């Protein structure tokens, strides 16, 4: 499986999973997910990057995934001001590479978008904690106008140190904590602690991997603003239209006895402004 050939042929695939606010169920953003050619040994993202690691081209693949995701999103009609920002995954190794920020600027400008339209979602975030050079690079990205998200909070070593030192705009709570938190008291307490930390630091939380109505209910009860997962929307070939409403959230509101006000007119930019002022200022401008 020659990853260089896959990149050169433009065979890296992109999918877009909605990120949903959990009061009204309005889709406010999307995460771009990458995979290899369909029906190939590299279709699974983990396999795709494993092949790239073997061939010494992880950074090249990582950059190609971002370029392809931007191109596919724009071709599908994504407009950041109306449809909300696009979350792009960045591996810690790519972040550390010379020329990373210039490459990122070129990719975003190449589709006539701005840094404020993009959230850089840092995978392998455990490497950021205690690493002054990576934190300096994140500060450069933030100063350039990009939004910063740390992925998989609560998984492995991605814990309090990285969150406290970086203070990103967004933190994603790992599926390992979110899954079954309606049934597992310890997980619920751990997520509640992250909610408190995020409030104190002014960070927006996203509950990842919401797959059941019980998990959605607890996320709402804990005051988590945003969610992502199969219950709320599976990855699709194009971002969902602006203002799309997820039925599962409405069901959760009814079952809790707190039926939200109608979501008419609640565009992604309006919802983000009300949820998280720092990010909302960018979408409003």
* Residue 181 backbone dihedrals phi, psi, to 5 degrees: -70, -15
pTM of the predicted structure, to 2 decimals: 0.89
> Cβ–Cβ contacts within 10 Å for residue 97, how many?
15
Predicted local confidence at residue 281, as pLDDT: 43
Phi, psi of 93 (to 5 degrees): -65, -35
Res 153: pLDDT: 81
pLDDT in tens, the chain (285 residues): 789 999 999 999 999 999 999 988 889 999 999 999 988 898 998 899 999 999 999 999 999 999 999 999 999 999 877 788 999 999 988 998 999 999 999 999 999 999 999 999 998 666 787 888 999 999 999 999 999 999 888 765 556 788 888 999 999 999 999 999 999 999 999 999 999 999 999 999 999 999 999 999 999 999 999 999 999 999 999 999 877 888 888 777 666 655 555 444 445 555 555 555 555 444 443
Alpha-helical runs (H) found in the chain = 3-8, 45-54, 58-75, 80-83, 92-95, 100-109, 132-143, 160-166, 175-178, 185-201, 213-221, 247-256, 268-275, 277-284
CB contact set of 119 (below 8 Å; sequence gap of 6+): 29, 85, 86, 87, 88, 146, 147, 148, 149, 169, 170
Instruction: Round to the nearest angstrom and report the end-to-end CA distance of the chain.
Output: 45
**For residue 278, what pLDDT is reported?**
52
Q: Is residue 179 within 8 Å of residue 231, measured between CB atoms?
A: no
Q: What superfamily does domain 14-36+70-284 belong to in CATH?
A: EAL domain (3.20.20.450)
Rounded distance between C-alpha atoms, residue 48 and residue 44, angstroms: 6
Helices 100-109 and 132-143 cross at an angle (nearest 10°) of 30
Q: What is the pLDDT of residue 135?
A: 92
């Amino acid at each position: 499986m020659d990853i260089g050939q896959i990149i050169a042929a433009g065979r890296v695939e992109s999918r877009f999973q909605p990120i949903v606010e959990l009061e009204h169920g309005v889709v406010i953003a999307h995460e771009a997910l990458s995979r290899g050619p369909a029906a190939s040994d590299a279709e699974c993202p983990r396999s795709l990057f494993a092949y790239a690691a073997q061939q010494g081209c992880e950074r090249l693949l990582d950059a190609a995934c971002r370029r392809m995701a931007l191109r596919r999103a724009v071709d599908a009609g994504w407009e950041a001001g109306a449809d909300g920002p696009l979350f792009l995954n960045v591996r810690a190794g790519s972040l550390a590479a010379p020329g990373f920020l210039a490459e990122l600027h070129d990719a975003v400008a190449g589709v006539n978008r701005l840094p404020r339209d993009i959230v850089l979602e840092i995978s392998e975030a455990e490497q950021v904690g205690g690493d002054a050079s990576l934190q300096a690079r994140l500060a450069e990205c933030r100063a350039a106008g990009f939004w910063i998200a740390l992925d998989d909070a609560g998984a492995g070593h991605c814990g309090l140190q990285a969150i406290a030192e970086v203070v990103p705009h967004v933190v994603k709570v790992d599926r390992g904590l979110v899954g079954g938190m309606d049934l597992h008291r310890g997980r619920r307490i751990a997520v509640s602690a992250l909610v408190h930390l995020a409030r104190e630091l002014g960070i927006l939380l996203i509950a990842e991997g919401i797959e059941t109505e019980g998990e959605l209910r607890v996320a709402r009860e804990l005051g988590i603003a945003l969610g992502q997962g199969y219950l709320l929307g599976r990855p699709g070939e194009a971002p969902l239209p602006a203002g799309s409403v997820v039925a599962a959230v409405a069901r959760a509101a009814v079952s809790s006895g707190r039926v939200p006000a109608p979501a008419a007119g609640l565009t992604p930019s309006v919802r983000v402004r009300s949820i998280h002022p720092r990010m909302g200022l960018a979408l409003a401008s």
